[in-house]
Amino acid sequence: MKFFADTADTAEIADLAQTGLLDGVTTNPSLIKKSGRDIIEVTREICGLTHGPVSAEVVALDHAGMMKEAEILRKIADNVCIKVPLTIDGLKSCKALTSDGTMVNVTLCFSASQALLAAKAGASFISPFVGRHDDNGFDGMNLIEDIRLIYDNYGFETEILVASIRHGIHVLEAARIGADVITAPPSVIKGLFKHVLTDKGIEGFLKDWAETGQAIG
């Protein structure tokens, strides 16, 4: 399973990239706002921090406008992935862009039928929002299971990118279901490394080691 960081904070991305476990980055207009930076400038910097796909989202709502913005965004770097909303114009743009060899992430997916349409439009990634789904009284992980089943039924190559992740259990469930990618805030990704018994174990081993009086090397 691939791990994407859901942020436009370049310091956080650089930090995660150093682990060698970061496979890409996703941004959205809210994350760009949070960064306080210019979308072109910050996206260019992010593209230099990872070899993986970096999702940059269009804000136009019509097909012509989306294509115009996508043209500007995809020139930033070879690893830019154009993010379009799951609307008729978004999928029309997805079809046109992917037919032209551009990576596309279809975002704001809240139903398996929407995910089916995105796959038919040739999406590289479909982004179902599990956290926002849960927030509204639905089961986000049921949605991922349904999409996995449908994509496997027809051999769709669109990668399921589990988005709007709130905690480690979402990541674990996504892996159990066989989602292709998760995108999560850096704090959630860093939390996955931690376990109280790991810390306790290290503490115990170091205490015993100190008492041996030895050094390695």
Q: Contact between 93 and ligand E4P (CB under 6 A)?
A: no
Residue 17 CB, shortest distance to ligand E4P, in Å, is: 18
9 closest CA partner among 30, 38, 32, 29: 32
Q: Contact between 95 and ligand E4P (CB under 6 A)?
A: no
Residue 132 CB, shortest distance to ligand E4P, in Å, is: 5
How far is 63 from 55, CA to CA, in rounded Å? 18
Q: Contact between 129 and ligand E4P (CB under 6 A)?
A: yes
| Residue number, 28 or 158, with CB nearest to ligand E4P | 28
| Residue number, 120 or 166, with CB nearest to ligand E4P | 166
Q: Which residues of 44-81 are buried (b: 16+ CB within 10 A; e: fewer)?
A: ebbbebbebbbbbbbebeebeebbebbeebbebeebbb
Out of 2, 75, 83, 194, the active site residue is: 83
Residue from 65, 131, 168, 191 binding ligand E4P (CB under 6 A)? 131
Q: CB neighbours (10 Å) of residue 95?
A: 17
x-marked contacts with ligand E4P along 13-52 as a string, rule CB under 6 A:
-------------x-x------------------------
CA distances from 148 to 86, 152, 163, 175 (A): 18, 6, 15, 11
Phi, psi of 21 (to 5 degrees): -110, 5
| Residue number, 26 or 43, with CB nearest to ligand E4P | 26
x-marked contacts with ligand E4P along 148-177 as a string, rule CB under 6 A:
---------------xx-------------
Question: In the annotation, is 83 catalytic?
Answer: yes
| Residue number, 64 or 114, with CB nearest to ligand E4P | 114
Binding-site ranges for ligand E4P (CB under 6 A): 6, 26, 28, 107, 127, 129, 131-132, 163-164, 183
Active site residues: 83
